[in-house]
Each structure stands twice: as structure tokens, then as C-alpha cells.
Structure 1
Amino acid sequence: MNTLENKLVEWRRDFHRYPELGFLEMRTSTLVASELERLGFVIQIGREVMSAEHCLGKPSETETKAHMEWARENGAAEKYLDEVSEGYTGIVATWDTGRPGPTLAYRVDMDALPIYESTEESHVPLRKDFRSVNTEMHACGHDAHTSIGLGLATMIAENAEQLNGKIKLIFQPAEEGARGAISMVRAGVVDDVDYFIATHIGIGVPQNHFVASNNGFLATSKIDVTFKGISSHAGGKPEEGKNAMLAAANAVINLSAVPRHSGGMTRINVGELHAGSGRNVIADEAVLKVETRGETSELNTYMKEYAESVIRGAAQMHQVGCGIELVGEGISAKGSPEVAEPLHECAEKTGLTSQVQSDEAAGSEDATFFMDAVQKQGGYATYCVLGTDLAAGHHNEKFDVNEKSLLQGVETLFKSAVKLTNE
């Protein structure tokens, strides 16, 4: 391996070993910021690049403070820790060549998932001693994305004479649950961007392959629902209770019956239901975690509004209160050929088998907010996928990637920076 490839593997394994959930990426972001500063980038971090009122589903202040102490104890860079201590963990690193040219932005994400990593002996991170030290894990490749972002920064700093204009590297928190991008968009981080490229590893694309524009992402809304009733003795005075659990159960059944739309793909799921405190107590509270999806933003809005109607109807039927909170959101977006085509050519020059576009369904992504913002102001945007061998599917306890993909990703993205800034 060359020096950069070794470094990419080192970074990736370190981030994998110390995963952090959305808006808690304090160790990760401070180490990233320190490396970017060392390379010579201008750093903006925390509230500078995030709109506080647009952070969806942010952890509690207590959880955030506790995690800050964990980050400090586990090697976070003290210089930047105060900047991210309240959970605003986004970073924008800018390289200004001083020469006329466009502004390019590359986005990578940093957060992990609440999944307990496999302890089977065959699991490579366990055998090679970089399995997660936490109850969370990087089960979607964001550790690889963050490392690719740092690798790209390294190549930019070492080869800046090949570039023109400005390059912005966006390290986004809280992609899981589609929560973090909108806050950075609303903070204006892509207001000056002409070309935008988001990157993901895996998603069914095989090793040594590349997709320059993945257009299969569904718009989505993540909803937390709380039903509030009145507790009572289930045997002695059942008529005095207002059963929140019954309202929630009714909602779950009827949410599954929301009519699908003829205009395109639609999805709905209730992933969690929590209720009750004892077998002889009428439940006074119940919580649901719900998500809707649609092939377009309009279709997702149809699903979301129908779902909210069902939820309110269930509450009214059982005479309980209900609260509905939007905790995550992604819109639909289509990649721009003006940036996908050059990216496709760069991937082929890296030695990858590349295709310009894929429309296969691939879940949801809040990078679509960045794409939409750039396109609306006359710029071009795409979401590319770097193929890799996977040990298991995304969001699986045995998830792992082929680390040979890391350098391929860095080289492809750097080639695109050279091409797009010299056209």
C-alpha cells in the first residue's frame, strides 16, 4: 500500500472503533477538524455551519453533555471540543486556490447507528482489533466516508497547483434518520456552490464499480408520536382511565392500511411502539416511531399527511391527547448530467467500471437537501456510489467494507476536482 492508502485504512479503523451517533460526533469531528487545519484548510465548525433551529431529532442536553465527557476521555481534540460541545458537529473546510474558477463542494457523513456490533470470530473488525468499543457501530460505511473526505483533503493540499477556484469539504452530522443536512443548508454552506457531489460506499454496487448519479432515493419523513391518556386501576376503575396504548395500537394497524398512491412508490412503517407500566394499569402514555417515504416529495407529503390524520383519529377515538414531532426529513432529487458525466469519466480513468446513472430504489438520503439547494441556484449536483465488497448488508451487525475501495474513492473524487475546475 502507498502512504495515503495506509493512512486511509488507519483513519477508517479508528473511526470504526469509536463510533458516535448523530449530533454526538464530537470525537470524530474534532479529530477531522484538526487534520484539516494541519493540511492548511480554512475551518468552520459547529454553529458557524449549522442552523440550530433546523437540527431535527437532536439528543437531549443531558445525553449531549455526557457524550462530550466520553469524547474527551477517548481522544477528542481539545482545541475544537468547545465548538461542538452542544452537539453542533458539522464542519466545512475550504481550500481557496486564489485563481478564478468554480466552487466545488464534496459532502461526506460521519454518524454511526444504534446497532451492537457482531462478536463472531469471523467478523474482520473483531479479528483485526477495531471492533466498536461502544454499543453503537458504523454499520453503513460512514467511517469510510469520513476517511475518504480526509484523503481527498490530503490530495487537494498536496496537489493544489492542479486546481482552480474553491473546494469545500462538508463533513455532515446525523445523516441517519435524515436529520443533519437541512441545518447546514439553512446555514448557507452551499449558497456559493457551483458543483456539489455527495458520496456513499456500497448500496449494492460491487467492488471496482461506480455509479456517478444515483437517482433512486425516496423522499422521507421521520415522525415521533406521543399519546397522552389517564392511568387507572385496570380492575377497580377501568372506566376512569384513558388508554394511550389502545390508541397507539389502533394507529399502528390503520397506518399500515394507508392507501398507496398510483403516482409512484410509497412506503410507511411503524418501527417502534413503547407503552404501559404494569398489567393492572391503564396505560397513560404510548410512543410510536413512524416513517413515511415517497418516490417524490409530493408522494411523501401525501403519505405523511394521511398518516397524521390516522394518528389524530386514533387519539380522538380513545379520548387521549397526541403530539406529533418531525424528527427527520429527506426530499427527492435527481442528479445533474453536467456533473455526473465528468465524474463518470474520472471513475473510468481510476480503473473503475462506471455507469452514469442508476434509478434503483436505495432508501432515503438527506443529501438531497444540498442537491436541491445547489440546483435551484443554477448549479449542478449529484450523488455518487462507490462500489465495495460487503460482509453483510447495510444496517447489519456484521457490516464491513473492502478497504481497497477507499483509495479508489479518493482518486476518483480528486480527478473530478481537477476536471471540473479546469473546464
Structure 2
Amino acid sequence: MNEVHQQILRQRNEILQTWRKLHSLAEPSWKEKETSGFIREKLRDQGLPVQTYENHFGLTAEIKGRKPDVIALRADLDALVQEVNGTLRPNHSCGHDAHSTMVLHTALHLARCAGRLNHTIRFIFQPAEEKGQGALQMMKDRALDDVKLLVGIHLRPRSEIPFRQAAPVIIHGSAANLTGVIKGTPAHASRPEDGNNAIEAAACLIQTIRGIRLKSSHSHSVKITELHSGGNATNIIPDTARFTFDMRADTNEAMEELMEKALQAVEKTAEWTGTAIHSKVEDFLPAASFHPKAVDVAKNAIVSTLGEQNLVPVCRSPGGEDFHFYALKNPHIASTMIGLGCDLQPGLHHPDMTFNQEALTDGTEILTKMVLQADPLEW
């Protein structure tokens, strides 16, 4: 494994150049054309066969092994769209450019092992993670066919994992949005008895939802994140209000209960206030599930790369990740997501997010060693 370390160190400048290119390409969900094209050409230049798709810019590449069972690495392609210095534009503030860089260079390194691997190694570059839809699309396109082990990697804020440390598993919670429209009755503000104030109904809904308590002891949160009335006149009782509640829970079971109670709160509020409320739950992301054997292999790769003293046993994150759809829909697959310490600050999704790019070689080495250590095992 020391040979792997030396070879990846020699690739350091190329790895950094790849990241700079992908960082400059930043493209939003479902529009990752240039990003996908750059990665596709890099893979093909190394002689790897690439599978593309007609209806999106995701792609997969493979190194054939002696048997069809697959070990897969997954990266995400898309950037956030957010305001940066007063301008709304795509911005890589979640580290997807780094994830794609590390998985790409793992593929380029392992291409040298063609013909010597037991398992087929598949590299999945998925679109639209930020929309929570890319993993589902890749599964529809059969990117998980024959996969026995699936591993992802994600940059972590320094408040979670220090630089040059890593965790073999990230425990994300479940997330979802409750969105809706309240319809009341408009009236002049001097005759409020003639109307039914949608904003007052929204205030009632907020208090009702804040009072939700789950039967289980699992932690959860639900909070108003968006509220807009239908008009801007100061002397009119508004008849329309649009709302969004952000919902979080540490397990899928707790999220299911939370969603059910939130929808019940909507029904009760509509009844109490005499309004019509049309609502739905959307943007669901499942909580993490992981396989102990996958975690053990990731742990060994981290220790081999960074040393026992730099192993963080587990990373717990309040955020969500569509990577976990893969395990939710395919519980027979061993999977885990590695958390990489990289001095990331001030935080994920912050428009000014930065990280220490030296961590890219750490992540590439961890992924490469993990595949090589997993390959002789039965999955």
C-alpha cells in the first residue's frame, strides 16, 4: 500500500488541476454538461469504457474484473445556485467538485490494475444531488446492477472533522419540506369581519406545528423557513399565503411520524380557521443506513492512509444526502459514506466556503486503498 501512497503523491499536481477545472465549471442540477464532458474525456483517455445517458448528464465507467460482482464508488456532479457577491450563480460550496475529483483520480489510478482485479469496479458520477433526485435517476438507469459494495465520500466542516482526519461513516438524518398554500377571503382592513386572514391562519399553523411531539424518543425538528402573502397592499386582508416548513429527524421512522403529524396539523388548522390549505411533503431525503463490513473496510483504508490517531469513529451530521436513497432502495448492498476532514470553513453551502485542497490527495488515497482492500473479500 505504500506504493499507492507514492503514486498518488506524484499525481498531486494533476489532482489539483482537475479540481480547479471542475470548480470553474460549476453547473446546476440537471445541467452538468461541461462537467460531465470533462470527466468523460479524462476517463476515455485512460482507456476506460464510459456509459452515458440520453436524458441527463450522469455517467458511469468500469474496470472489468474476473467476476461481474461490482464494487462502486459514487460522486456527485452538480453545484448549488446561490447568491455570491450580489449575483445569483452556480457555486461549488458543497464540495461536489472535490468528490468528483477524488473519484475520477481513483479511477485513473486503478485503471493500471485492469486484468488483476477480482471485482468489476464501477465509478458512478451522478447528477442533481442538490435536488435530491440524482440517485433515484441513476437507479432507474440501472447504475447499481450487480453492485455489492457502494461507497461515497464527502468533505466535512472542520467543526465536525479536523484536517487530515477522516471518518468511515457519516450519519445523516432524514430531511423533507412541507410546502403549501393557504386560501382565505380578502377584505378591506377596515372591515376585517368580512374577510379571513391567510396570514393569521399561517400563524395558527406555525404554532400548531411547533407543538408536534413524537411518540418515539428520536430527535427531530420542524421550523418555518418561508412565508409569503399574496399581496403587498397595507390596507387589504390577504387571502393567500404560501409557506414552507423544514423537517428533520434522525431516523426514517421518526420522519414518517413527523410527516404524518405535520399533515394532520394542516388539516386541523384549516378546520379551525375556516381556510382551505393545500399542502404536500416534498424534497424527502432518507436518513443514513450503513453496513458494518463496509465501514470496517473504509476504516482500514483511513488508518492505512492517515494513521490510527487520525481515525474519527463516526461523523454525525444534521444535513441530508441523496446518497442514502441507494441503501434505502437496495438494502442488500453494503454501503457507507466516508467523511473527509479538510479544514472546510465557514461551512457547507456557505457562498464563501473554502477547504484545504491538500485533502484531495488524502481522499483519493483512501478511496484507492479501500477498493484494493475490499476487492479480495466476498460481498
Instruction: State yes or no: 1:28 paired with 2:28.
Output: no
Within 2, Cα distance between the matches of 1:45 and 1:230? 52
Residue of structure 1 aligned with 2:274, choices 319, 329, 332:
319
Structure 1 residues 303 and 347 mapped into 2: Cα distance closer, same or farther (>3 Å)? same
Residue aligning to 1:188: 142
Within 1, Cα distance between the matches of 2:217 and 2:315? 16
Residues 240-276 of structure 1 deviation map (CA, whole Å, 9 limit, x = unaligned): 5443333323222322221245421112122211223
State the secondary structure of the residue aligned to 1:225: strand
Residue aligning to 2:323: 367
Letter paired with 1:93: A
Residues 129-179 of structure 1 deviation map (CA, whole Å, 9 limit, x = unaligned): xxxx85342222112112112212211223324423211212223323534
How do 1:167-246 residues align onto structure 2 when only pairs under 5 Å count?
167-176=121-130, 178-203=132-157, 204-214=160-170, 216-235=171-190, 238=192, 241-246=195-200
Within 2, Cα distance between the matches of 1:142 and 1:329? 20
Instruction: State yes or no: 1:265 paired with 2:265.
Output: no
Residue aligning to 2:3: none
Structure 1 residues 317 and 406 mapped into 2: Cα distance closer, same or farther (>3 Å)? same
Within 2, Cα distance between the matches of 1:285 and 1:25? 36
| CA-CA distance at 1:299 after TM superposition | 0.6
Contact 1:185 1:369 in 2 (8 A): no
| CA-CA distance at 1:318 after TM superposition | 3.3
Residue aligning to 1:45: 52
| CA-CA distance at 1:117 after TM superposition | 3.4
Which deviates the most, 151-160 or 109-118? Answer: 109-118
Structure 1 residues 252 and 159 mapped into 2: Cα distance closer, same or farther (>3 Å)? same
Within 1, Cα distance between the matches of 2:152 and 2:289? 12
Residue of structure 1 aligned with 2:75, choices 102, 108, 113:
108
Tell me the C-alpha RMSD between the 2 structures. 2.7
Within 2, Cα distance between the matches of 1:196 and 1:325? 32
State the secondary structure of the residue aligned to 2:208: helix
Within 2, Cα distance between the matches of 1:18 and 1:100? 36
Residue aligning to 2:314: 358
Contact 2:28 2:80 in 1 (8 A): yes
State the secondary structure of the residue aligned to 1:333: coil
Residue of structure 2 aligned with 1:145, choices 74, 85, 99:
99
Residue aligning to 1:56: none
Residue aligning to 1:274: 228
Residue of structure 2 aligned with 1:90, choices 44, 58, 61:
58
Structure 1 residues 187 and 162 mapped into 2: Cα distance closer, same or farther (>3 Å)? same
Contact 2:9 2:361 in 1 (8 A): no
Residue of structure 2 aligned with 1:300, choices 237, 255, 264:
255
Contact 1:211 1:385 in 2 (8 A): yes
Contact 2:182 2:241 in 1 (8 A): yes
Within 1, Cα distance between the matches of 2:356 and 2:370? 23
| CA-CA distance at 1:209 after TM superposition | 0.8
Instruction: State yes or no: 1:404 paired with 2:338.
Output: no
Contact 1:108 1:198 in 2 (8 A): yes
Report which of the two has the higher share of strand. 2
Within 2, Cα distance between the matches of 1:357 and 1:261? 30
State the secondary structure of the residue aligned to 1:135: strand
Structure 1 residues 175 and 272 mapped into 2: Cα distance closer, same or farther (>3 Å)? same
| CA-CA distance at 1:104 after TM superposition | 0.7
Letter paired with 1:340: V
Letter paired with 2:29: G
State the secondary structure of the residue aligned to 1:388: strand
Residues 372-405 of structure 1 deviation map (CA, whole Å, 9 limit, x = unaligned): 344x23x311111111112312222321111011
| CA-CA distance at 1:305 after TM superposition | 1.0
Within 1, Cα distance between the matches of 2:46 and 2:238? 57
Contact 1:103 1:195 in 2 (8 A): yes
Residue aligning to 2:26: 19
Contact 2:161 2:315 in 1 (8 A): no
Structure 1 residues 322 and 26 mapped into 2: Cα distance closer, same or farther (>3 Å)? farther
Letter paired with 1:337: P
Between the two proteins, the alignment pairs up a number of residues equal to: 366
Letter paired with 2:283: G
Which deviates the most, 189-198 or 314-323? Answer: 314-323
Within 2, Cα distance between the matches of 1:244 and 1:94? 55
Structure 1 residues 37 and 226 mapped into 2: Cα distance closer, same or farther (>3 Å)? farther
Within 2, Cα distance between the matches of 1:23 and 1:192? 26
- Determine what percentage of the aligned residue pairs are the same residue: 27
Within 1, Cα distance between the matches of 2:361 and 2:85? 26
Contact 1:146 1:171 in 2 (8 A): yes
Structure 1 residues 226 and 9 mapped into 2: Cα distance closer, same or farther (>3 Å)? farther
State the secondary structure of the residue aligned to 1:41: coil
| CA-CA distance at 1:413 after TM superposition | 0.7
Contact 1:118 1:398 in 2 (8 A): no
Structure 1 residues 246 and 89 mapped into 2: Cα distance closer, same or farther (>3 Å)? farther
State the secondary structure of the residue aligned to 1:360: strand
When normalised by structure 2's length, the TM-score is 0.86
